[in-house]
Amino acid sequence: MPIGTNINQPVLLGVENTPLIANHEQREHFGEHMTIDGYGGSQAKLDHSSHILQGLSLLVDRLGMKPLAEPVIYYAKGNDKKDPGGWTGILAIEESHISIHTFPAIGFVTADVYTCRNGMAQREIVDFFREHFSLKEIEVNFLRRGMHFMALAMSRSSLDAQKQKVAANAQP
């Protein structure tokens, strides 16, 4: 059930598949960043390093992104605070990165999917995480990044064009 409709407010997605926040506003932006927090996941899947690595590779393939290297994974032991320990898997992609952090003892996963592409396949990403880790509930946050990037890029492009014009006129 949605707890907010603002683009930067989290939306909870249970098994009823509540619709995601619309992300295809007309305004240009640099990229899109989706965070996924999954609850009630399979402890076995969340604690299996090769399953996490496989998930990174499968998701990148499904989204048509290009890996820069093989995914890497690290184990972090827990502490006496809120962190019960778990795995961190990271995959650098040409478009940016995907990271997955699992906490098997409590059935929790938190992930980031960040891309400089616009029009992120939110539903496909949520469905992937739900299936891959057998999640019962998912919280999604979606951010548009670089809202002023296009203006900056256009002013840079305009400045470069002016410099080229001046240089061309200065030649005999």
Q: How many CB atoms lie under 10 A from the CB of residue 101?
A: 20
**Pairing status of strand 108-115 against strand 31-39:** antiparallel
Alpha helices in 89-141 (DSSP H): 122-132
Q: Where are the beta strands (DSSP E) in 2-126?
A: 11-13, 31-39, 72-77, 85-93, 96-103, 108-115
List, by residue number, the catalytic residues. Answer: 96, 101, 116
